[in-house]
Structure 1
Amino acid sequence: MLDIPLWKRISIWALCALGLWLALPNAFYTTVERHNDAVIEIEATGVTPELQADVDAWPSYMPNALVNLGLDLRGGVHLLAEVQVEDTYATRVDGMWTTVRNILREERATIGGVRQLDAAPGFLKLRIANVEAMPRALELLRTLAQPVQTLAGVGEMDLVFASDGDVISMTLSDAEKAAMDERTMVQTLEIVRRRVDEVGTREPTIQRQGTQRVLIQVPGLGSAEELKGLLGQTAKLEFRPVVRRTNDPAVAPGPGNEIMPSVDEPGQYYIVEKGAVVGGEDLVDAQPTTDQNGGQAVSFRFNISGAQKFGDYTADNIGSPFAIVLDGEVISAPTIQSHIAGGSGIITGRFSIEETIKLSALLRAGALPAELTFEEERTIGPELGQDSIEAGRIACIVAFAAVLIFMVLSYGTFGFFANIALVINVGLIFGLLSAIGATLTLPGIAGIVLTIGMAVDANVLIFERIREELKAKRGPARAIELGYEKALSAIIDANITTFLTAVILFVMGSGPVKGFAITLGLGIITSVFTAIFVTRLVVVIWFERKRPKEIEV
């Protein structure tokens, strides 16, 4: 007969209470949002009376996780950027010149002098003095090649060498270029995410689109230009050897060199080597600071590898200038006075406070490995987002009311029990969305509306089975028990197939499709739980109290 153990009853009500408790902050969205923002701001800048008032507006013992609103609901910026992955080929090859030169100099007596020649981007060309030693030179250089670290590149080497008379050319293999493309995209996604997080935006969407594109959606940001300014800078910090200074921008820098303007000295240019001694990838920290004169500056610190390379170079080149290069401009070019150990220093210049904060944030986030070109941009105003919210709210209310009325008219008291489960179901959906930090979009609202319509399907199956058992002259208790037992297989079958569809949409889709799939999938889970457990528990409690001789469904 109808019997639910006490431990199971407590567990069911506890899960319902937990879900509704987690969903509660969304009923006070603005207050909780201000509370969360104030907590973060206090941690970053310190407490103020206004911030403390926002913190106190929501009790600390209450949950504060909210369902994040997506771009189409909150307004914000949408960008589609293409990553110029080919830029990394030239950077990699140019950086090999110092290593190539040093390994050939070890057998200078045999090979003779080595001189770099002009070459197309992505190629390194050099001329050796003794053409008869070409086989030995190639043998030495091929020791620099390493296996490509991908499954598709098994058996391939990363560098390809060729000779023509006394000229040796080096480039990357096709397998290594493909591997670098993948690494560049992964690194770009991570650095873009870090940069967006640095400015405190809430729940951005950063996804890969195709092979070379990145989709960036930042809710709450008011200008596409602001986001482009943040992402468009490569923030590439390098320390390069200085060849000489010049005031003629048209002078030929020579093979293996390039000419760069000076930031602090208008009209001055520096000819520097293409290969960097230390790069931004070795940075582990950067913070705004002041120099000895009280001017604005940025302090930096290298990792162990970068500190070692920086220390070795300064020890070997005392008295020589070196250039601090940021995004193709020479910030400063001090002369090395002594061995610089420890791997830390400061970048000085004509910075404002805002510029030092921004520069340090960009350096901490890391240098973009390649340039971004923006193919598509949209700014969605908050008014459009508010209209979407209102439309979604109206849709939910209409769907909710229609289902509630239909269930009561169709099934009477049992329909009322189903409505109780439906209210709990919607609360559980928002509780789960808050707990996992999901972002709600307009398609997500559509998923909730669909869930509301589907939530009563299980109850309809159960109630119709109970009707059939009553027609077969079963007693009330037995009819209810058989109704739940016989409808269970159909309920599970229908919801599993729909859940699998939601999983496929989530895996194969992107952006709005994922939002729809998440709310649909969570709605299916909560619907099955409320239909099988919550509704049954409510019916059992009612039956135990009323003990009706006859029931009408």
Structure 2
Amino acid sequence: MLQIPLWKRLTIILVCLAGLLLAVPNLFYSRVELHNDAATALERGAVPTAQIEENLALWPEWLPSGLINLGLDLRGGAHLLAEVQLEDVYESRVDGYWPEIRDALRDLRGEVGTIRRQDAPPGELRVRISRPEGLQAAVDAVRELSSPIVSLTGVGERDIAVAGAGDTISVTLSEAERAATDQRTLEQSLEIIRRRVDEAGTREPTIQRQGADRILIQVPGIGSAQELKALIGTTARLTFHSVVGRTSDGTQRVDSDQLLHPSMDEEGLFYILDRTPVVSGDDLVDSQPAFDQNGQPAVTFRFNPSGARAFGQYTSANVGAPFAIVLDEEVITAPRINEPITGGSGQITGNFGVEEANRLAILLRAGALPAEMTFLEERTIGPELGQDSIDAGKVAAIFAMVAVVAFMVLSYGLFGALATVALGINVALIFAVLSMIGGTLTLPGIAGIVLTIGMAVDANVLVFERIREEAKTARGPARAIELGYERALSAIVDANITTFIIATILFTLGSGPVRGFAVTLGIGILTSVFTAIFVTRLLIVLWFERRRPKQIEI
């Protein structure tokens, strides 16, 4: 007899209700999105504002708030193609060797005499000694500072190349080290850009390497390419330097081991700083927006143990001296050290508002880009273009739904009408699964949903045709329905498994739009099988138990 146990009926009903509940937030997309963005901002430590509180109240906390992420072609957003200036890394790497080289040559002062750093092209460090006869000893001492290269292509090679001529020693990165540095720089840039975009609360960005030194960045939902550039284009290099002096002459020459940086707060003021920072932003472990004692926006920061130790030792030994905090070659502030700072934390204040404090905290927390980026291509995709795509997709889906409903009702009568109810539940389940997993819907993804609508009734067609055949020989309509489902099951499973395998291959080997199509197609196959085998059958059983027909017409 045609029977479905009570526990199975309840399970099917609960799955359908849960799917409908998870899909509901997508009907109120803008409101739920503002609510989610406000909640995410508070979780990340943003300063609460009236706007954030207002957005938070747009959607009840007890309801699901998962949304389908809209791709760049549906939502609009920004597209950037950036080139990483790898030469900048060579320069900073070579500069980092200066303290070690200086200390090593000071130990040989009797042989090499006095030492002095000379001006040199970017990526090269030159040191002049007063006793040319000690050149070979100096070169040998500097070469001992080199280290083996840690990479598969640079096995057995050293990281620096040292040469000497006359009274000058020249130090550059070796070719193998440059290749290894290029690889590390690109990987680090990709990770930092991804962290910055994620920290800002954007959804499903595309960030990938292109060629030897380029990075493609596509972020849906962001206002413009300029806004995206402001978020990721800043290197956010934070360093802490001892102050040698101040000047109003921006062209003043300084020693090779010093820097001249402008003040961010006072126009026309420049600071002369030691070139080697006491602590850098690499030692930061956290940064949050806050307010200072005067109620003005500020940014707090916290060092890791090694950075806290260096920071504490310097401030303990230099009480009363000014100390400069430098962000991207501009002095944010240069406070006087009133007492040792041994806790490993501090606060940055300046002429910035709440939004700027939030952005600065994001940049510092995500880390500094290892090199500057030049944007070769930038494009803003307006939301109206994406809305056109969404509207076209809606029209296509509605036409597909109407055509399928008309065909099923005309072909199978009441059973066809019950199948169309299950089809509506099927579409809701697709949206529920995409919302639950945080999937991204693109224009090809909409095509996958439309195709799923057309394919979703295939299983019902197989079942209904089988029931029609069994009704001619079976003993009663209940037996015909039962046999129809039993004997059509293997064909349904086989057909959908092969299609699901194709969707899996598309997702694995494809990229971008192809993967978006594969995701919605694969999810649609799973939900179609569920609704055809369980939901439609439950609806037929409930109808049959209520009417008890003597015969069925399909």
TM-score of the pair, normalised by structure 2: 0.84
CA distance in 1, matches of 2:29, 2:38: 14
Query: In the alignment, is residue 102 of structure 1 matched against residue 100 of structure 2?
Result: no
Q: Is the 8 A contact 1:156 1:175 kept in 2?
A: no
Partner of 1:423: helix, strand, or coil? helix
CA distance in 1, matches of 2:19, 2:280: 49
CA distance in 2, matches of 1:486, 1:154: 64
Query: In the alignment, is residue 236 of structure 1 matched against residue 274 of structure 2?
Result: no
CA drift at 1:58: 4.4
Q: 1:131 to 1:39 in 2, by over 3 A?
A: closer
User: Partner of 1:21 in structure 2?
Assistant: 21
Q: 1:8 to 1:298 in 2, by over 3 A?
A: closer
Q: 1:23 to 1:352 in 2, by over 3 A?
A: closer
Q: What are the equivalent positions in structure 2 for 1:125-140 lying under 5 Å apart?
A: 125-127=126-128, 130-134=134-138, 136-138=140-142, 140=144
Amino acid at match of 2:24: L
Q: 1:455 to 1:106 in 2, by over 3 A?
A: farther
What is the aligned-residue identity percentage? Answer: 60
CA distance in 2, matches of 1:261, 1:60: 48
Deviations 1:285-321 (A, max 9, x none): 3455677888765443322211222233445566766
User: Partner of 1:375 in structure 2?
Assistant: 376
Q: Is the 8 A contact 2:154 2:177 kept in 1?
A: no
CA drift at 1:333: 4.7
User: Partner of 1:8 in structure 2?
Assistant: 8
Q: Is the 8 A contact 1:499 1:521 kept in 2?
A: yes
Aligned length: 546
Q: Is the 8 A contact 2:449 2:521 kept in 1?
A: yes
Deviations 1:134-162 (A, max 9, x none): 575156313xx1551x5x34735561333
Q: Is the 8 A contact 1:320 1:336 kept in 2?
A: yes
Query: In the alignment, is residue 400 of structure 1 matched against residue 404 of structure 2?
Result: no
Q: Is the 8 A contact 1:95 1:274 kept in 2?
A: no
Q: What are the equivalent positions in structure 2 for 1:147-546 lying under 5 Å apart?
A: 147-148=149-150, 152-153=152-153, 155-156=155-156, 159-165=159-165, 168-174=169-175, 176-199=177-200, 201-211=201-211, 212-242=213-243, 248-287=249-288, 298-315=299-316, 323-333=324-334, 339-351=340-352, 355-469=356-470, 473-475=473-475, 476=477, 479-543=480-544
CA drift at 1:427: 1.0
Partner of 2:429: helix, strand, or coil? helix
CA drift at 1:83: 2.9
- With 361-370 and 328-337 compared, the bigger mean Cα shift is at 328-337
Q: 1:99 to 1:342 in 2, by over 3 A?
A: farther
Q: 1:135 to 1:219 in 2, by over 3 A?
A: closer
Q: 1:190 to 1:6 in 2, by over 3 A?
A: same
Amino acid at match of 2:412: Y
CA distance in 2, matches of 1:136, 1:54: 66
CA distance in 1, matches of 2:510, 2:178: 28
CA drift at 1:249: 4.4
CA distance in 1, matches of 2:258, 2:149: 29
CA distance in 2, matches of 1:496, 1:175: 50
CA drift at 1:20: 1.5
Amino acid at match of 2:399: V
Amino acid at match of 2:22: L
Structure 2's unaligned 5+ residue stretches are: none
- With 93-102 and 209-218 compared, the bigger mean Cα shift is at 209-218
CA drift at 1:22: 1.2
Q: Is the 8 A contact 1:104 1:140 kept in 2?
A: no
CA distance in 1, matches of 2:78, 2:142: 52
Q: 1:194 to 1:461 in 2, by over 3 A?
A: same
Q: 1:420 to 1:273 in 2, by over 3 A?
A: same
Partner of 1:398: helix, strand, or coil? helix
CA drift at 1:403: 0.7
- With 343-352 and 492-501 compared, the bigger mean Cα shift is at 343-352
CA distance in 2, matches of 1:539, 1:107: 95
Q: Is the 8 A contact 1:111 1:137 kept in 2?
A: no
Deviations 1:501-523 (A, max 9, x none): 33343344444333322222211
Q: 1:463 to 1:175 in 2, by over 3 A?
A: farther
Partner of 1:497: helix, strand, or coil? helix
CA distance in 2, matches of 1:483, 1:85: 67
CA drift at 1:399: 0.6
User: Partner of 1:78 in structure 2?
Assistant: 79
Amino acid at match of 1:100: I
CA drift at 1:198: 4.9
- With 300-309 and 479-488 compared, the bigger mean Cα shift is at 479-488
Partner of 1:388: helix, strand, or coil? helix
CA distance in 2, matches of 1:500, 1:176: 44
Q: 1:415 to 1:353 in 2, by over 3 A?
A: closer
Q: 1:289 to 1:7 in 2, by over 3 A?
A: closer
CA distance in 2, matches of 1:42, 1:319: 38
CA drift at 1:525: 1.4
Q: Is the 8 A contact 2:118 2:126 kept in 1?
A: yes
Amino acid at match of 1:282: D
Q: 1:335 to 1:202 in 2, by over 3 A?
A: closer
CA drift at 1:455: 1.1
Structure 1's unaligned 5+ residue stretches are: none
TM-score of the pair, normalised by structure 1: 0.84
CA drift at 1:449: 0.9
Amino acid at match of 2:302: R
Q: Is the 8 A contact 2:69 2:204 kept in 1?
A: no
Partner of 2:433: helix, strand, or coil? helix
CA distance in 1, matches of 2:9, 2:422: 15
Q: Is the 8 A contact 1:94 1:256 kept in 2?
A: no
CA drift at 1:241: 4.6
CA distance in 2, matches of 1:375, 1:267: 33
Q: Is the 8 A contact 1:469 1:479 kept in 2?
A: yes
